[in-house]
Amino acid sequence: MILVTGGAGFIGSNFVLDWLACSDEPVLNLDALTYAGNLRNLASLDGNPKHLFVHGDIGDRTVVAELLARHRPRAVLNFAAESHVDRSISGPEAFLRTNVMGTLNLLESVRQHWSALPEAERAAFRFLQVSTDEVYGSLAPDAPAFTELHRYEPNSPYAASKASADHLVRAWHHTYRLPVLTTNCSNNYGPFHFPEKLIPLMIVNALAGKPLPVYGDGMQVRDWLYVGDHCRAIRTVLERGVPGEHYNVGGWNEQANIDIVRQVCALLDEMQPDPAGPRSRLITHVTDRPGHDRRYAIDARRIERELGWRPQETFASGLRRTVRWYLDHADWVRDVQSGAYREWVAQQYGARA
Ligand code: NAD
Ligand code: TYD
């Protein structure tokens, strides 16, 4: 079996669902169920003996060691993280605790387990770290996209914590020869995306007739990838990636935030027209994020050339699917918009001009 951490979050739950849809190999899913973890994402697996969920923290040495000893997974895929840049700005500690110390604990537990395995199992074992393009920092408008050789220049507490984790992963390979793989992916979107991030926040706010808060001038650029394409990239790297290497994953799809918001508005207007008028009337420019990175863009040629992965979803089809998913899952949205979510929205946007 494989051990997935953070498998109740946005990308992790998509990964677990996709994995079990195309493989018979069981998944052991370790997740602390923070505000971002949601077992409802995995409801379709209820009663499926191939999915074993464990409620626990990647920073808990006893839990991780016990799971490794009892289930002897052939691979550990680390999705677990605090993942929201704005939350890292208002409270960085949790990011250091999970993203850095949690990863350190996983690496140490895995190393002890791995070093005692028989040789064939040791050679086949993989530790895959799910990382981000944000570790590379911000690009000038006309600079070439990030390759795997780009210097790490993290700018937000979130990016710094992910960069630290990547450095630990690298060191565990270099020093202990642990067979690690690292993927650095651009911004994902799709089903089960927590509505604190740009695309789902805009969808749920627009449906509720609330303002659509665009930071600053809205001309910051991100490279958007459909989550299913990211999950397939991770499966590909796990299967064929070379230990010790990084693989950049992206959608060749750079877009300014304001254009993303306009497209969300247009799709909602088409699929569920608002008698009050076009949703674009709700767009509101608010105070910018401190230290806001201006542009991210991924050069994904390496994974394409060496491992044969390519994105399959276009942005037009992926965004349409995503908007449709939110329209069809109003109950999921209601469920995640709990008291804690409302408190975050009030704290984050209440005071923004
Ligand atoms: P998410 O915030 O939606 O989910 C994170 C999951 O990790 C949640 O289920 C949460 O309960 C769990 N978790 C948090 N702390 C934990 C701990 N200490 N122990 C165990 N579980 C814990 O995040 P996501 O968007 O699904 O991102 C998953 C991974 O992908 C992260 O490592 C993130 O850095 C990376 N990534 C995300 C994106 C993106 O666009 N969302 C892009 C590139 C890389
Ligand atoms: P986000 O989804 O938080 O991802 P990241 O910061 O990891 O790229 O934000 C995507 C972009 O959208 C980013 O440039 C910040 C911007 N943004 C807004 O303009 N308004 C918002 O309310 C949010 C959450 C993000």
Task: Kindly tell me if the per-residue pLDDT of 50 is higher than 70.
Answer: yes
Ligand 1 centre from 10 Cα, in Å? Answer: 7
Determine the atom of ligand 2 nearest the C-alpha atom of 196.
24
Which DSSP letter does residue 45 get? Answer: G
Which residues does the annotation mark as catalytic? 133-134, 158
The pLDDT tens digits for 119-165 are 999 999 999 999 999 999 999 999 999 999 999 999 999 999 999 99
**Domains of the chain, each with CATH number or no CATH:** 2-189+224-253+292-315 (3.40.50.720)
Ligand 2 centre from 123 Cα, in Å? Answer: 40
Mean pLDDT computed over 269-276: 98
Nearest CA to ligand 1 atom 41: 188
Query: For residue 172, which of 205, 126, 214 has the smallest C-alpha distance?
Result: 126
Task: Kindly tell me if the per-residue pLDDT of 326 is higher than 90.
Answer: yes
User: What does pLDDT average to over the chain?
Assistant: 97
Q: If pLDDT is split at 50, 70 and 90, which confidence band does 339 have?
A: confident
Mean pLDDT computed over 201-230: 98
pLDDT on residue 109: 98
Task: Kindly tell me if the per-residue pLDDT of 351 is higher than 90.
Answer: no
**Do the strands 225-226 and 221-223 form a parallel or antiparallel pair, or are they unpaired?**
unpaired
Determine the atom of ligand 2 nearest the C-alpha atom of 156.
6
Task: Kindly tell me if the per-residue pLDDT of 10 is higher than 80.
Answer: yes
* Residue 97 vs residues 93, 100, 210: alpha-carbon distances, Å: 6, 6, 34
Question: Alpha-carbon Rg of the chain, whole angstroms?
Answer: 20
Mean pLDDT computed over 76-97: 98
pLDDT on residue 259: 98
Q: If pLDDT is split at 50, 70 and 90, which confidence band does 338 have?
A: confident
> How far, in Å, CA of 81 to CA of 171, rounded?
20
pLDDT on residue 107: 98
Ligand 1 centre from 39 Cα, in Å? Answer: 14
**Cα torsion for 60, 187, 219, 292, to the nearest 10°?**
20
Task: Kindly tell me if the per-residue pLDDT of 52 is higher than 70.
Answer: yes
Tell me the H-state helices in 252-338.
Answer: 257-271, 301-307, 315-328, 330-336
pTM over 0.85: yes
